[in-house]
């Protein structure tokens, strides 16, 4: 009986003294860090704000100006006469700015129908784990697109608003792991002016897209938009394949697509080409970031302290 007591008391004391080993402090450190810790947000779900043609869930970072130049050549099946599409060029240039960590704005100009576009994109939910679990990132995109070519029918009374288009898009994305991300984007395009009373002003579609990282700095992207109702009877759905290369302050996106357009109202609903027929268009997006506002200013870190 005495022996049992003795051994339990020795065991107990050695157990207690174990907690005083150096590991203890490390454990306490871990506990301290897990207390009131911030949610662990998923970052860099996609490399840039565009997958290929469509928007991703990503925003430009707060205080950063993103200059984008997007360029599409002609279709490869135009043959040697058009130098396999390289003679043809359409483009869009834009400036886009991150106001804070959840809101960005931007404006651009496309050669197609001499269209000006402006948009805002807001992050509503951010994918996170840890202190808060949120499986997806949800963004909302609102865009206004105005073409400035002469009115199709100059004889009738035309309004400026006749040339306007509005886009509303929800983007639901998830970074599944370090290399694979996927997103779905239900979209509505509203056309202010349509051909006849029987044509719908509102066009609906669902976009799907994913990226797979090949290396830390390159990835393969695929993007597809399914039209629920079509604008053109013989319209085709957009399918694009892209390749992202990241070099310092630039992201270079090479792509092949069956759409020559780079704004939602057109690349979703105005395509006529198909991959099968060889209407494949090569192109690239170039994104260059400029830091306008140093995000650390507010933190007031004095370098002299060190």
Q: Which stretch binds another protein (CB under 8 A): 166-174, 191-199, 222-230, 297-305?
A: 297-305
39 contacts another protein (rule: CB under 8 A): no
DSSP E strands: which ranges in the chain? 39-41, 64-75, 90-98, 103-110, 115-125, 128-130, 137-147, 164-175, 180-191, 202-213, 218-227, 238-247, 250-257, 281-291
Binding mask 171-210 for another protein (x = CB under 8 A): -------x--------------------------------
154 contacts another protein (rule: CB under 8 A): no
Largest Cα separation within the chain, whole Å, is 112
131 contacts another protein (rule: CB under 8 A): no
For the four alpha carbons of 213, 211, 165 and 238, in that order, the dihedral sign comes to positive
Give 251: exposed, middle or buried? Use CB within 10 Å, 0-12, 13-18, 19+: buried
20 contacts another protein (rule: CB under 8 A): yes
Binding mask 268-287 for another protein (x = CB under 8 A): --------------------
**Residue 224 CB, nearest approach to another protein (Å):** 26
4 contacts another protein (rule: CB under 8 A): no
**267 phi, psi to nearest 5 deg:** -70, -20
304 contacts another protein (rule: CB under 8 A): no
Cβ distance 52 to 265 under 8 Å? no
Residue from 154, 155, 161, 306 touching another protein (CB under 8 A): that is 306
The counts of H helices and E strands in the chain are 3, 14
Q: What is the DSSP letter of 11?
A: H
Residue from 114, 201, 217, 232 touching another protein (CB under 8 A): that is 217
What is each CA distance from 246 to 168, 252, 285, in whole angstroms?
A: 29, 6, 12
Kindly tell me which of 30 and 202 has the beta carbon lying closer to another protein: 30
Tokens linked to 159: 């309004």
Kindly tell me which of 114 and 217 has the beta carbon lying closer to another protein: 217
**Residue 33 CB, nearest approach to another protein (Å):** 5
Number of residues interacting with another protein: please give it, by CB under 8 A: 45
Binding mask 71-110 for another protein (x = CB under 8 A): ---------------------------x------------
Residue from 80, 161, 248, 304 touching another protein (CB under 8 A): that is 248
The residue ranges that bind another protein (CB under 8 A) are 2, 5-6, 9-10, 12-13, 16-17, 19-20, 22, 24-26, 28-30, 32-33, 40, 43-44, 61-64, 98, 178, 216-217, 246-249, 289, 291, 294-296, 299, 301, 303, 305-306
């Amino acid at each position: 009986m005495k022996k049992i007591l003795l051994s339990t008391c020795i065991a107990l004391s050695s157990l207690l003294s174990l907690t005083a080993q150096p590991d203890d402090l490390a454990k306490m450190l871990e506990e301290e860090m897990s207390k009131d810790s911030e949610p662990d947000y998923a970052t860099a779900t996609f490399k840039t704000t565009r997958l290929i043609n469509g928007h991703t869930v990503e925003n430009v970072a707060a205080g950063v100006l993103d200059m984008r130049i997007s360029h599409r050549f002609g279709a490869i099946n135009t043959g040697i006469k058009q130098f396999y599409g390289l003679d043809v060029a359409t483009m869009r240039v834009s400036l886009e700015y991150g106001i804070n960590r959840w809101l960005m704005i931007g404006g651009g100009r496309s050669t197609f129908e001499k269209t000006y576009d402006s948009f805002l994109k807001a992050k509503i939910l951010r994918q996170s784990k840890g202190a808060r679990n949120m499986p997806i990132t949800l963004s909302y995109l609102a865009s206004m697109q105005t073409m400035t070519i002469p009115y199709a029918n100059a004889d009738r009374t035309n309004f400026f608003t006749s040339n306007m288009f509005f886009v509303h898009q929800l983007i639901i994305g998830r970074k599944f792991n370090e290399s694979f991300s996927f997103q779905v984007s239900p979209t509505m395009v509203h056309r202010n002016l349509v051909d006849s009373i029987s044509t719908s002003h509102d066009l609906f579609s669902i976009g799907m897209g994913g990226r797979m990282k090949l290396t830390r700095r390159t990835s393969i992207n695929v993007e597809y938009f399914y039209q629920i109702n079509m604008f053109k009877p013989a319209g085709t759905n957009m399918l694009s394949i892209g390749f992202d290369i990241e070099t310092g302050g630039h992201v270079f996106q090479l792509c092949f697509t069956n759409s020559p357009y780079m704004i939602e109202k057109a690349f979703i609903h105005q395509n006529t080409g198909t991959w099968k027929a060889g209407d494949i268009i090569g192109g690239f997006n170039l994104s260059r970031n400029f830091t306008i506002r140093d995000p650390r200013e507010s933190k007031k870190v004095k370098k002299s302290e060190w």
